[in-house]
């Protein structure tokens, strides 16, 4: 299967494209700790993976698990369970391991208390590891393109230059993890690179 085509985006916003990557098999990954839930003012905002947050959906925020991971969340006090999909980052409180939507929190009866002791288990199957290439620009003048490459290298990046059969030199940063794409796009924005092509590539794991 070929890689999805690139999409033009601004440095301040990117869209996670449809997942076509191979995946890593799970072996009973689990974690226990405190869960919280978020809703209200977050309704309609953009999640860390580019989706629109829906407090009535069954999604969650986790600090490190790859986006798309499906988790079974068990309230350890009442044994109620719910399945959620990771599409956001957080919670940003030290003793908490997961933030649930209102709907997910309601299903395990933790809305009133706000937090609960939970066990989260990655569902039998896979965790997707998504990688992206970030194309910074394309120039018809080779010397101009290489000057941009030097500038990016001086900024601490590792850009690659590729001269196409059409005579256009494309400068890109390959193999960027999904958790790093947004931060990279912001950095490039500060360097004046506002229009990027970000496209998903296969993971070889």
pLDDT in tens, 51-77: 889 999 999 999 878 788 899 999 999
Can you give the pLDDT at residue 100? 98
State both tokens at 147.
């000057």
Residues 99 and 37 in one domain: yes
The total number of structural domains that make up the chain:
2
Residues 76 and 166 in one domain: no
Average pLDDT of the chain is 82
Can you give the pLDDT at residue 124? 64
Residue-range definition of the domain harbouring residue 196:
7-17+129-201
**Is residue 2 a part of any domain in this protein?**
no
Residues 48 and 117 in one domain: yes
**Is residue 177 a part of any domain in this protein?**
yes
Strand ranges inside the chain, DSSP E: 7-10, 23-25, 30-37, 59-61, 70-75, 81-88, 96-100, 115-122, 126-128, 131-139, 160-163, 169-177, 195-201
Each residue of 12-57: pLDDT tens digit? 333 333 333 334 444 458 899 999 999 989 999 989 888 889 999 9
Residues 121 and 180 in one domain: no
**What CATH number is associated with residue 96?**
2.40.40.10
Nearest CA to 60 among 23, 103, 110?
103
Angle at 176 between CA 71 and CA 192, to 5 degrees: 125
For the sheet with 195-201, list strands across it: 7-10, 195-201, 131-139, 169-177, 160-163
């Amino acid at each position: 299967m070929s890689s999805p085509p690139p999409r033009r985006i601004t440095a301040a916003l990117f869209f996670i494209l449809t997942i076509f990557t191979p995946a890593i098999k799970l072996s009973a990954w689990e974690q226990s700790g405190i869960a919280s839930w978020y809703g209200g003012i977050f309704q309609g905002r953009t999640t860390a993976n580019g989706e629109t947050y829906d407090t009535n959906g069954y999604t969650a925020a986790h600090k490190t698990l790859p986006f798309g991971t499906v988790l079974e969340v068990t309230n350890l006090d009442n044994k109620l369970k719910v399945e959620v999909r990771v599409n956001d980052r957080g919670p940003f409180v030290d003793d908490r391991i997961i933030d649930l939507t209102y709907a997910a929190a309601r299903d395990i009866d933790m809305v009133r208390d706000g937090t609960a002791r939970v066990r989260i288990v990655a569902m039998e199957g896979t965790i997707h590891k998504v990688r992206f290439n970030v194309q910074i620009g394309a120039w018809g003048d080779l010397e101009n393109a290489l000057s941009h490459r030097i500038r990016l290298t001086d900024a601490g990046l590792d850009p690659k230059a590729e001269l196409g059969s059409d005579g256009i030199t494309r400068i890109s940063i390959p193999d960027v993890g999904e958790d790093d794409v947004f931060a990279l796009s912001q950095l490039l924005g500060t360097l004046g690179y506002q229009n990027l092509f970000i496209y998903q590539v296969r993971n070889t794991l």
